[in-house]
Each structure stands twice: as structure tokens, then as C-alpha cells.
Amino acid sequence: MPSPTQVVALLKAQNIRHIRLYDADRAMLLALANSGIQVTVSVPNDQLLGIGQSNATAANWIARNVIAHVPATNITAIAVGSEVLTALPNAAPVLVSALKFINSALVASNLDHQIKVSTPHSSSIILDSFPPSQAFFNRSWDPVMVPLLKFLQSTGSYLMLNVYPYYDYMQSNGVIPLDYALFRPLPPNKEAVDANTLLHYTNVFDAVVDAAYFAMSYLNVTNVPIVVTESGWPSKGDSSEPDATLENANTYNSNLIKHVLNNTGTPKHPGIAVSTYIYELYNEDLRPGSVSEKNWGLFNANGVPVYILHLTGAGTVLANDTTNQTFCVAKSGSDPKMLQAALDWACGPGKVDCSPLLQGQPCYEPDNVVSHSTYAFNAYFQQMAKSSGTCDFKGVATVTTTDPSHGSCRFPGSAGRNGTVVNGTSLAPSSNSTSSGCLSLYFHGGGSFTSSVIVGVLLLSTSVLF
């Protein structure tokens, strides 16, 4: 996986202003310092029991993972555990205590107004989710949900909910149409209608979110907003997952982003955008499990997008197309003789214009084979439209999202300089995870939206918030 500094460089390049970390990794928090990026940190499930049983343990966690980093790192929320009721039910009895202890530590440090505390839930805790007006939380969790919702009310926090139409679709045995899961337009006679409210639902996402709103109202809670802390679609699957495809992943995430940014809201709460984290930032090639579990990411580990989102009409969500912010550079530790041979090829048979490398020209300094070959490799990579295999040079080159331009030496492909910048936005999705290493991209809807993306980071996985 990329280093923390490489992750932050990608976030900045993409104008991502919010991230979610699935832990509180010190190196990542340090890398985020003075970036202005808003950060949600997380208490991992394996630390929940200790924190939920000890106010002192919670205070120590806050001191180590929050106070040590603010205000340089802009921490704005803490997710306590992940899908605890369904993934770690033995910790459920201490979940609310953990939230209260964490919040008390924030109050003691006068940080409770800027940092909100909540816990992400799987949407499977909602029973009878359609029609939404009849939905309710699994009653066996009332001893947790009732005090939890009261806590969220009293602290001005929000219900964190993970919403995965992909899994709803896969588990429906054909009842849920694919178009309904992907936000594709439906004819009026195909829309799902809640017979109790006569509200029309054109997609699974809205139906699940409204089911959560109705489930809260069933417990007499009507003023707690919802933030979707994970959502996405896998771009590849095995033979049992035929709908985990690049096209479907692109369609789902593109449509989800447009749906949130257009402030459509849900049928129950029209015009009130649902802030949403897209899971996840990077694919996870080494993740165990099915093929789809490895392929929810918007980007490969080298920073190259898995696909280009279709965001026409949605405004500029991110910065320039990520494909125009990838470069080819000399691989660290490469044999200088191999670099020289590759440089000679690029400037000869490769037909790269290497005149900027001549003495007295902008890219002559530093005068060494690593710097010169990096320029030549990248120029070739760009002129070949970054085609697969054009940044290898017998293993001495690699792709990066860090612009290698320096001083007056501007590399081809550098935004606004040499090379062509194509309009568009690059992103890609990933899957449920509670392991360290996840990054979530989050796009925030609302009138004050200014092309910002909120990204949540776990060291192995990542999500994006819209």
C-alpha cells in the first residue's frame, strides 16, 4: 500500500477535503497535519471492550490518538467500533458506555463541540426494510439502540449507517432489479411504492436510508440525522458474482455521487442530502476472501484509477482527472547501467523529445541518470497515453501520483503545464472492512458544498465520502 505521505498527496491532488480512518494510525495522522483535511478516526473493535469498561482507558485513548494531533490534524469525528451489533455482539453491552467515556474525555479537553462521537451500524440491524414506513430495528437490540439514540440526540451527533445495495441485490434472489440497485432510471410503473406513505422509491439506497429514519421514529427519535459511513460496489468478482464488474461499479458510484451532490435527499426527507462515504479508496490485492472483497477500490495501490467515473453534470467533484496526475519515474534502487540503457532507448527509438535535458535547459539539473531517466520515462509514458506496459522499461520504472516536476522543470502531464489535461474525475470503490488500513472517500452534500470530498482512511482500505 502507498505510504501515508503518498496517500495524503493523492487526497490533495484530488481536492479531497474529508477522510475517514478505520483506526487512528499515528503515521497517517501526522501526514495529515496542516493539510486542512477533515478526519474521522476510529476505535477498532479489538479495543472496544477495554474502552467500554474503563473511563481511564478511554481518556488515555483520546490523549494518545486525538489530543496529541489536534489542532494540526483536523479531527472532526470518532467512529467507535464498526458494525458492533452484528460483527462483535459480545461487546454490545459496553458499546454505549464506550461512546460516553470517549465523549467525556473530549468534554474534559473542551473538544466535544468540534468532534462528534458515533458508531457505524450494518443496515442489517433494520428488519422489514421495505416498505420503509414499516421498518424497525431488531428489537433484541433495543437495550442498546434506545440509549444510543438518546446519546446521539443529546450530543448533536448522527447515526452512522453502512449501506450496500450490492449485497441487498445479491441476497434478494432476483427480487431486486439490478437497475434499481444501480440508480438507473426506472419507468414509473417499475418504481417501488410504499403503500402506507405513497412515497415512490427509485433506488435501493434511498429505501434503506428511509427505513433507518422510520426505524428511529418507531423509537420516538426524529431529530438524529444519518451519515452513510460506507457504500460502494465491487469492480471484479468470481463466477458467483457476475454483477461485480467495472461497468456496474462505475455506474453505481457515479450515480451515487450525482445523487448526493444534487441534494436530492430521500423521499421521506427530500432536499436533505445524505452525506456518504464511498468504500473504498484503494483495491486490496492481498485481502483474504472472495475476489470481490479485494476490488472495491477507486484506485490501485500505485494511484492509477480503476475506472473513470461518469460525473458529467455533477460539477467538479475532485481535482483534474487522476489519469492526468499519474507519472512514470525511475524506480528507487535501480541499476544505473539499466537506467542509462533505458534512457538512451527513450531518447532514441522511443522518439521522446529529450531536449529539455540538454545543458542549459530547464531539466538538465540535477545532472544524473536517475533524474534524466525519470524525465524521459515520463515523457514516453505521457506520449503513449499512459497505455498499459509503457512505464516499465525492463523493470526500472514505476507509476506514481506525485508530480516529479521541480523548479522550472515541468514534466509532461503536469497539470496546467506540458502535456494535455483531460477534463473529468477519477475514482473507484471497495468493500466492507474493519481491519486497519481502510480509507473511505466521503462526499458531503448541502448548500455549502465546494467540490470537497471526505475520505475515511483505514491503513489497508479506504472509503470516500460524498
* Crossing angle of the two packed helices 369-383 and 336-347, in degrees rounded to 10: 40
The DSSP string of 199-231 is -EE-SHHHHHHHHHHHHHHHTT--S--EEEEEE
The DSSP string of 59-92 is HHHHIIIIITTTTTSEEEEEEESSSHHHH-GGGG
Spatial separation of the C-alpha atoms in residues 154 and 161, rounded to whole Å: 19
Spatial separation of the C-alpha atoms in residues 352 and 344, rounded to whole Å: 10
Q: Give the phi and the psi of residue 400 in degrees, each rounded to 5.
A: -140, 160
Amino acid identity of residue 8, one-letter, is: V
- Nearest one of 312, 332, 297 to 430, comparing CA atoms: 297
3-state secondary structure of 419: coil
Residue 83 is among the residues annotated as catalytic for this protein: yes
Q: Which residues of 124-136 are buried (b: 16+ CB within 10 A; e: fewer)?
A: bbbeebbbbbbbb
Contact present, 356 and 362 (Cβ < 8 Å): yes
Looking at residue 132, what DSSP letter applies? G
Spatial separation of the C-alpha atoms in residues 333 and 463, rounded to whole Å: 32
Residue 284 is among the residues annotated as catalytic for this protein: no
Active-site option among 230, 280, 284, 293: 230
Measured in whole angstroms, the distance separating CA 224 from the mean position of its chain's CA atoms is: 23
Regarding beta strands 226-231 and 159-162, do their DSSP bridges make them parallel or antiparallel, or are they unpaired? parallel
The DSSP string of 434-454 is -STEEEEEEE--STT--S-EE
Q: Provide the CB-side half-sphere exposure for 92 (13 A, CA).
A: 17
- Nearest one of 439, 415, 455, 423 to 327, comparing CA atoms: 415
Contact present, 62 and 106 (Cβ < 8 Å): yes
5's CB contacts (< 8 A; 6+ apart) are 31
3-state secondary structure of 377: helix
Contact present, 335 and 430 (Cβ < 8 Å): no
The DSSP string of 237-303 is --TT-TT--HHHHHHHHHHHHHHHHTT-B-SSSBT----EEEE-SB--TT--S-TGGG---SB-TTS
Tell me which residues are annotated as active site.
Answer: 83, 230
